[in-house]
Copies of this chain bind each other. A is one copy, B any other.
Amino acid sequence: MTTVTSSRDLPHPAREEIRLEAVLHALSDPMRLQIVRELATDGGELTCSHFDLPVTKSTTTHHFRVLRESGVIRQVYRGTAKMNGLRRDDLDDLFPGLLGTLLGAAARQAGRLGGA
Protein backbone atom coordinates (compact mmCIF):
# COMPACT_ATOMS: atom_id res chain seq x y z
CA MET A 1 0.00 0.00 0.00
CA THR A 2 2.14 2.84 -1.24
CA THR A 3 -0.60 5.49 -1.18
CA VAL A 4 0.91 7.58 -3.94
CA THR A 5 -0.83 10.91 -3.84
CA SER A 6 1.28 12.51 -6.51
CA SER A 7 4.66 12.46 -8.12
CA ARG A 8 5.82 15.97 -7.34
CA ASP A 9 6.87 16.59 -3.78
CA LEU A 10 7.19 19.90 -2.00
CA PRO A 11 9.75 20.70 0.72
CA HIS A 12 8.26 21.31 4.16
CA PRO A 13 10.12 22.11 7.36
CA ALA A 14 9.95 19.36 9.97
CA ARG A 15 7.97 20.15 13.07
CA GLU A 16 11.05 20.88 15.16
CA GLU A 17 12.42 23.17 12.49
CA ILE A 18 9.51 25.57 12.64
CA ARG A 19 10.60 28.90 14.09
CA LEU A 20 8.26 31.28 15.83
CA GLU A 21 9.84 34.31 14.14
CA ALA A 22 9.22 32.79 10.72
CA VAL A 23 5.59 32.05 11.58
CA LEU A 24 5.03 35.60 12.81
CA HIS A 25 6.71 37.01 9.74
CA ALA A 26 4.56 34.86 7.49
CA LEU A 27 1.39 36.05 9.20
CA SER A 28 2.44 39.71 9.24
CA ASP A 29 1.43 40.08 5.60
CA PRO A 30 -2.25 40.96 5.10
CA MET A 31 -2.55 38.72 2.07
CA ARG A 32 -1.14 35.71 3.87
CA LEU A 33 -3.13 36.37 7.02
CA GLN A 34 -6.24 36.39 4.89
CA ILE A 35 -5.30 33.07 3.33
CA VAL A 36 -4.72 31.49 6.72
CA ARG A 37 -8.01 32.82 8.00
CA GLU A 38 -9.89 31.24 5.12
CA LEU A 39 -8.06 27.97 5.59
CA ALA A 40 -8.99 28.01 9.26
CA THR A 41 -12.69 28.68 8.73
CA ASP A 42 -12.87 25.99 6.09
CA GLY A 43 -11.07 23.49 8.23
CA GLY A 44 -10.09 21.23 5.36
CA GLU A 45 -7.98 21.69 2.29
CA LEU A 46 -8.42 24.30 -0.39
CA THR A 47 -6.91 24.74 -3.82
CA CYS A 48 -4.76 27.76 -4.63
CA SER A 49 -7.23 28.91 -7.25
CA HIS A 50 -10.03 28.99 -4.69
CA PHE A 51 -8.60 32.21 -3.30
CA ASP A 52 -9.51 35.44 -5.02
CA LEU A 53 -6.76 37.79 -3.95
CA PRO A 54 -6.15 41.24 -5.44
CA VAL A 55 -2.78 40.14 -6.81
CA THR A 56 -1.63 38.10 -9.77
CA LYS A 57 -1.28 34.34 -9.82
CA SER A 58 2.49 34.60 -9.58
CA THR A 59 2.29 36.62 -6.41
CA THR A 60 -0.23 34.23 -4.92
CA THR A 61 2.15 31.35 -5.57
CA HIS A 62 4.87 33.30 -3.79
CA HIS A 63 2.70 33.83 -0.70
CA PHE A 64 1.76 30.17 -0.53
CA ARG A 65 5.40 29.24 -0.66
CA VAL A 66 6.26 31.60 2.20
CA LEU A 67 3.48 30.05 4.25
CA ARG A 68 4.69 26.53 3.48
CA GLU A 69 8.37 27.25 4.12
CA SER A 70 7.59 28.87 7.43
CA GLY A 71 5.64 25.79 8.48
CA VAL A 72 2.20 27.37 8.65
CA ILE A 73 0.57 25.36 5.89
CA ARG A 74 1.04 22.00 4.24
CA GLN A 75 0.84 21.73 0.46
CA VAL A 76 0.31 18.64 -1.62
CA TYR A 77 -0.45 18.04 -5.26
CA ARG A 78 -3.66 16.25 -6.19
CA GLY A 79 -3.84 15.94 -9.92
CA THR A 80 -3.30 19.38 -11.41
CA ALA A 81 -4.62 21.03 -8.29
CA LYS A 82 -2.52 21.88 -5.26
CA MET A 83 -4.23 21.43 -1.95
CA ASN A 84 -3.46 23.67 1.00
CA GLY A 85 -4.12 22.93 4.65
CA LEU A 86 -3.14 24.43 7.97
CA ARG A 87 -0.52 22.55 10.02
CA ARG A 88 -2.71 22.81 13.06
CA ASP A 89 -1.35 19.70 14.76
CA ASP A 90 2.29 20.75 14.49
CA LEU A 91 1.65 24.35 15.47
CA ASP A 92 -0.51 23.41 18.43
CA ASP A 93 2.16 21.03 19.61
CA LEU A 94 4.97 23.56 19.29
CA PHE A 95 3.09 26.66 20.41
CA PRO A 96 -0.04 25.67 22.34
CA GLY A 97 -2.90 28.05 21.80
CA LEU A 98 -0.98 30.34 19.50
CA LEU A 99 -2.86 29.63 16.30
CA GLY A 100 -6.23 29.93 17.98
CA THR A 101 -5.39 33.18 19.70
CA LEU A 102 -3.91 34.58 16.52
CA LEU A 103 -7.00 33.69 14.51
CA GLY A 104 -9.17 35.16 17.22
CA ALA A 105 -7.19 38.39 17.14
CA ALA A 106 -7.46 38.55 13.36
CA ALA A 107 -11.21 37.96 13.48
CA ARG A 108 -11.60 40.57 16.16
CA GLN A 109 -9.70 43.14 14.15
CA ALA A 110 -11.60 42.30 10.98
CA GLY A 111 -14.85 42.81 12.84
CA ARG A 112 -13.63 46.06 14.30
CA LEU A 113 -12.42 47.47 10.99
CA GLY A 114 -15.02 46.15 8.64
CA GLY A 115 -18.01 45.83 10.95
CA ALA A 116 -20.77 48.32 11.72
Q: A-side interface residues toward B, CB under 8 Å?
A: 16, 19-22, 24-25, 27-30, 33, 94-98, 101-102, 104-106, 108-109, 112
Contact residues in B for A24 (Cβ distance below 8 Å): 24-25, 27-28
A25 CA to B22 CA, complexed, in Å? 10
21 A-B pairs whose Cβ atoms sit less than 8 Å apart in the complex: A16-B112, A19-B109, A20-B105, A21-B27, A21-B28, A22-B28, A24-B24, A24-B25, A24-B27, A25-B25, A94-B105, A94-B108, A95-B101, A95-B104, A96-B104, A96-B108, A97-B97, A97-B101, A97-B104, A98-B101, A98-B105
If over half of A's interface residues share one DSSP class (helix, strand or loop), that class is named, otherwise mixed; here it is helix
Q: Is the CB of B95 within 8 A of A105?
A: yes
Partner of A28, one of B28, B95, B105, B108: B28
